[in-house]
Amino acid sequence: MSKKIKIGELDLHYIVMKNPRPDAEDELVYLLTNLHSPTQASRLYQWRWQIEVCFKHLKSNGVNLEAMNVQGKEKRHLMMAIAVLVYILAIREGLLKEYRDGIRWVRDKRSGFEYRAVSVFLKGLDIVRRKALNLIQFTRYLGKITQGEYRLIFQNV
């Protein structure tokens, strides 16, 4: 459903759509956008949601960026760069682990939807934590992954 609304000088569209995730708690998604196409708004929302999931992992679900009491603009930028690097490495390692070992699925009894028993991020974060116990080990790890056998498979991760 899409309805045109005007807020001040802004012409917007209020869109209500079925949540694309079968395992979602909320059945509907509500969007307020200046895009005219509900299909385009839905597609862009799905892309944006991936960014929100990344931020969730960086802020409170593994990396805990919010718990780090960092001051100053440059320090915040550095911490964000480090956090994004850790996030990318965790996703990479989680995907590699699934590539090697397969995925263990769990079925939701109520909806019947299947999902991963452990997320790709958390699976990979555990591996990255073990690789980063000391600086020498971590730099060897980084050197190895830039030349590794899976490089071409996951070059865009």
What does the pLDDT read at residue 19? Answer: 79
Largest CA distance in the chain: 58
The reported pLDDT for the residue numbered 2 is 83
Predicted confidence at residue 66, as pLDDT, reads: 65
| Whole-number CA gyration radius for the chain | 20
Regarding whether 142 and 74 lie in a shared domain, the answer is yes
Q: Looking at 16, 31, 59, which one is the last position of a domain?
A: 59
Query: Is 157 part of any domain?
Result: no
d(CA 115, CA 104): 8
Within-domain flag for 82: yes
pLDDT at 63: 66
Last residue of a domain, one of 30, 59, 88: 59
- Same domain as 79, residue 42: no
User: Which residues are CB-contacts of 105 (< 8 A; sequence separation ≥ 6)?
Assistant: 114, 115, 116, 117
Q: Which residue from 50, 54, 53, 17 is spatially nearest to 32, judged by alpha carbons? A: 17
CA distance 48 to 43: 9
Would residue 112 count as lying in a domain? yes
32 within a domain of the structure (yes/no):
yes
Residue 37 pLDDT: 78
Domain annotation covers residue 154: no
**Which residue among 10, 37, 59 closes a domain?**
59
* Residue-number span of the structural domain to which 24 is assigned: 2-59
Which residue from 75, 78, 55, 58 is spatially nearest to 67, judged by alpha carbons? 58
Residue 157 confidence (pLDDT) = 47
The whole-number pLDDT of residue 152 equals 53
Both 120 and 143 in a single domain?
Answer: yes
Residue 64 lies in a domain: no
One-letter amino acid of 13: H
Helix (H, G, I), strand (E, B) or coil at 68: coil
Mark whether 95 and 139 lie in a shared domain: yes
Would you say 79 and 68 are in contact if contact means Cβ atoms under 8 Å apart? yes
What are the 10-residue block averages of pLDDT along the chain, 157 residues in total? 86 84 79 81 76 73 68 76 87 93 87 84 90 82 73 50
- Count how many domains the chain has: 2
Which pLDDT does position 133 carry in this prediction? Answer: 82
pTM of the model: 0.54
- Give me 99's structure tokens: 């590539």
